[in-house]
Structure 1
């Protein structure tokens, strides 16, 4: 059972970080690549296989040449062990304030020890978030409530037929829907408020005319929030421009597109659909869960720029994620930020401690490279870590 004191500790942690940032200043603005504050998040890749074949995902497409594939899959199937997780948590306990822990890759809920992982994280007092496709929820919902998971982010691609088509398997929407219903029922039965459920929707060429249908399809599940994101990708044009300046360890290829061509997106339809969503949200008012659109472009031209001029940044140009997050792969290798970042190893927990890796020469080098380039590299322009970020003084 999750005690009130644990939930209060999470809030105190976030307050402590805000206070420390105010007192110490902004690590990003310092420019030397060092971080005085610990990471806000540890993103854990606890396995490197998935049970779906999504049409916009390099993993589902089997595109093994991409950085995304390298970060999520690597060279051979592997589960993170419970011993490694416990070592990560032991080392992470040295950070003050403590980071939050996100189980994000590749599909956490198919890990054979997922409940043991969640229990270990929660019992050590860490915030526990899971990002999932939701297909395993019907059999795990009640246990996830019982062990005290804090947050569950479920990716959804549209109403039932659209979602199932994109995911490559009939019945996937029904499974996640049933799973969230079971989770809601378990929370009520056990008198719990967590895990909070949030839905994440990514616009693709197969669903951009069904955004409102998606919102209305998941609204009855009473999520805490809904996020609608434009497609994250690296186009051929982006890869060529990037590799001309940043090859070697930072080289990239076309990614997370499959056969999609962003320039062919009918942005007028995307805009009209998002306007319908905004109107519906206004009509529903507080009855609709918190809704975010990323990036929240304010005119049709913004969408044309996003899909037809992918080297043009939309919003700010400074990615702060490498100063806030670190990802640990199944074998203990650490990379900056998360799975969409570069496959640029900065350490390994079997060889160095997490605090040492956080300010290791390789991590500092990576941060300095970003700073020297103006806050991001060319291949970053359509990454979830930068789209919609505010313009900031640098």
Structure 2
């Protein structure tokens, strides 16, 4: 039965909490997922319009987080030429896309790199809201103090804040001293502006990634979540691969689609992360026992046995999730050069919005074949530990 579900039962509590906060959005989201799931089952590569569209507004970032597949120790963006790092969609192209999206109302997520480094990101939010679209931003919050007032005024729906732990841990992982304090000052101002303008949005979600520097102090995140008024705290398992898994994926991908898939090498580790799963599970128990105004979710929501297997070996297959990927039926990613890709770390563009409409790209022959292949094999070699989209739908 788990293979037939459009919402993994392991994720139900997370989804219900969001539904309580935004019931209209929840109903619309479920409807979009249902249509996409039906086309996954019966569409032979075709798909209903996506539930979510993520704009990678910029490759650039103002931090160098240790575990990041983009700018971390082995991050693939570090080798990009300056011309590529400066790329960004023209505002006129984004406006045209938002008008196109208004017919099916996807959630717009602003991503990066760090999206606030794109000079017109505030205008992107404004355009999205003018077209009746829900709009979120995934940010390190370093520049939040500068933009908090505009976020409230424009009606940004949600801030998804990447937090690693208390001050010392956060700054160590982020690679820049003072990062934690700058973020906290921004959230202090955000609460002030929301109060002054009598607004509940933007809602605040914290995303914390488990890693070797914070796994034994994750319970300290609860106090911070309450302090900044977060309604959601998501604790994400670390993404990590070894070279052998990436090589096998690359061989398959090149043989099937005719191009290499190098981006996954940004998640390659020389050795397993130094995370003791028994201590990690103790932290999870502490977190569950602490009273908080924020709903806490562990994502993916693995069993205790799965967590032990996940962090003590390279190969992994969940027994509690379906292990098939629906993401290319549910989500599209638009990169700074206008290319549309089915994953945020896959070097295989389906088309370019500077040359074709999004709707033309979404179900073109290239996209349909990609979905057909994935439908047949269920997932790629890198998916189980390299991308949490596998466990989302």
Partner residue, 1:274: 284
Deviation of residue 383 (structure 1)?
A: 3.5
The equivalent position to 1:348 in structure 2, one of 345, 349, 352, is 352
State the Cα distance separating 1:257 from its structure 2 match: 4.5
Change (3 A) 1:330 1:124: same
- 2:225 maps to which residue? 218
Shift of the alpha carbon at 1:76?
3.7
1:85 is aligned, of 77, 82, 94, to 94
Q: Which residue of 1 aligns with 2:68?
A: 57
Q: How far off is 1:89 after superposition?
A: 1.1
CA pair 304-115 structure 1, distance change in 2 beyond 3 A: same
Change (3 A) 1:167 1:34: same
Match of 1:47 in 2: 58
- Name the counterpart of 2:322: 316
1:155 equivalent among 162, 171, 186: 162
Distance 1:72 1:159 in 2: 34
Which of 135, 143, 146 is matched with 1:136 structurally? Answer: 143
Report the CA distance between 1:212 and its aligned residue: 0.5
Separation (CA, whole Å) in 2 of partners of 1:276 and 1:124: 43
Q: Is the 8 A contact 1:164 1:170 kept in 2?
A: yes
Question: Are residue 249 (structure 1) and residue 259 (structure 2) matched?
Answer: yes
Q: Whole-Å Cα distance in 2 between the matches of residues 232 and 323 of structure 1?
A: 22
Contact 2:242-2:269 within 8 A present in 1 as well? no
* CA contact 2:62–2:114 (8 Å) conserved in 1: yes
Asked if 1:127 corresponds to 2:131, the answer is no
Q: Distance in 2 between matches of 1:27 and 1:43?
A: 21
Task: Please give the root-mean-square deviation of Cα atoms over the aligned residues, in Å.
Answer: 2.6
Pairs aligned (count): 367
- For residues 364-385 of structure 1, what are the alpha-carbon distances to aligned partners after superposition, in whole Å with 9 as ceiling and x for unaligned? 1111111111x21111111343
- List runs of 5+ in structure 1 lacking aligned partners: 1-9
1:115 to partner: Cα distance = 1.6
Q: SS of the counterpart of 1:60?
A: coil
Deviations 1:213-269 (A, max 9, x none): 122233221211000011023322321332343334353466445766335432222
**Alignment partner of 1:310: what SS?**
coil
Alpha carbons 2:325, 2:390 under 8 Å: kept: no
